[in-house]
Structure 1
Amino acid sequence: MGTKLIIDTDPGVDDAFAIALAALSEDVDLLGVTTVFGNVSLEATTRNALRVLQLCGRADVPVAAGAERPLIHPQPARAVRVHGADGLSGRASALPEPERDLVPGGAVRLLVSLLEAADEPVTLAPIGPLTNIALLLAAHPDVKAKIARIVLMGGGVDRGNSTASAEFNIWSDPEAARRVLVEEDVPCVVVPLDLTYRCAVSTEWLAKLAAHSPIGAALEALTPDYLASYRRSLGWDGIVLHDAVAVAEAISPGILRTEAYPVEVETSFGPGRGATLVDRRRPGMRGEGEGAVAPSAVQVAVDTDVDGLGEFVLGRLTR
């Protein structure tokens, strides 16, 4: 089989599309799904993940619930204005009831067991706050050798969405994000807002998805609240599939063009909290001066064939 993948998620409409993208891809060995607080409560994100997997006929995929709050400070706010009170535009109950129970022991235990059992390195795709991943790396550093790379949706180079400078996933737990991106040495790909917004899809794209199959229709039916929110931010009728863009890169390495940059995460309190500081200066100038960004480097996704990416995601969801 192809890419061995574990998704860590907080569904969320775009998370639902991302889970389905992996679950329906024949060249993906989806080893497990772990859940985290984020767009809505942990109880809701976990229920939503189970239901999306059931929709896709993937009750075989183990699911475990993880962190219900950030590492240190309370989450400032949830994203119910964007995703609806239940995380899926108020339509979570329209998805099939899951046939599988949660794996006992929690997300970190499931992550450790899946990584230790893997016969080759595994890609992790965290598409919510990075709390579970920070806990995994802090408590079980020996599993790092089993991680091929971490492909995460989060951060912004030139913009935020929760604040002027901070993207929601990073802003929800900046300390966890800093642990993963700055303090660890696992290869990371950051898929930021700057690129995901460029990959927004239209209502025509959604109509093609809905017309193809009951699964496509069910996914499209989760978007009304999300669509209303993005109509305001985009200025046209479409949605941003943030997390599906990251999972596309996790599935098909190189579908996004990346560049290596030092990255720091702002953890102080003030208007910059949760910002991802990407040092785009020429290499010879980096590390100079007061307030220099840490020398560690991550791959930051900067470009893609936007139309091709949209066709890739649509093709996988309608295969």
Structure 2
Amino acid sequence: MTTPLLRPSPLLRLGTRGSKLALTQAGLVRDALAAAMPALSAPGAIEIVAIKTTGDAIQDRPLSEAGGKGLFVKEIEEALLTRRIDAAVHSMKDMPTAQPPGLAIAAFLPREDARDVLIAGDVRRIADLRQGAVVGTSALRRRAQLLHRRPDLQIVNLRGNVETRLAKRAASTVEATLLALAGLKRLGMAHVGTPVPEDEMLPAVGQGAVCIECREDDARTRGWLAAIDHAPTATCVAAEHAMLAVLDGSCRTPIAGHAILTPDGGLHLRGLIVKPDGSEAIATERRGPAGDAEAMGRDAGHELKRRGGPGFLST
């Protein structure tokens, strides 16, 4: 009788959502860790664990009606806290502004292009969509910015992963939709639409960034993740999230923000709040030393909050 070979237990278990994009991003983290840490380069050293989240299960209504931010990370964070996984790979734009006690964001991959993409057949610009065109999106940020520029558009809820939304657009369920360019690039699908200038559609806070979360007391995992952490991305996201935290932002509020590092070693942050019906938009920006990223973000958030006044984001 032959004794079956026992597979060695993985040294690191990476949790992620089960969509094609999420698994692709987890694969990028696995490959980066394997390249940076010899201990993790052996076959089977890193296991990717797909976890279904509440956000994946809800397909019949906007996430803003179901609880907002955190719906794509709750079950994954629970798996971290119960030690079913050692680290979690998230799209940063899905992350709330604070982590549960005992968890921390320990690393970022280099950020991809943060812009949105318009997918509308031969139409390349929002301004060129026909009068009254039907546009599908579940993001309040996109909806509000679209209506601010084009109040004639009909905005309908469009949920699902990248492939599902593209299929609905191709089937003429909607005439146009918008997706994050970063995700399309990671899936090798950047050709399906046209990037929208940030002057027309400011990205979501954290868009294009992949973060890795782990337990605060897990020194071994934190050491491995430190080897792949992309500090420039961490700095830019810190500014954006500091602004978002002041605004108490979630999926229920149309808030946009994007920070970049400038050639002179500084940081440029742009922030925007929009009324849900698109009737009013308030923008601000900050420039300063990259070391002041969080302070700049907080200052920008306080300005937007002051200028918007009570109830701006809920009217």
Say whether the fold is shared (TM-score over 0.5): no
- TM-score range for the pair, normalised by the shorter chain length: 0.3 to 0.5
Higher helix share: 1
TM-score, normalised by the number of residues in structure 1: 0.34
Bigger radius of gyration among the two: 2
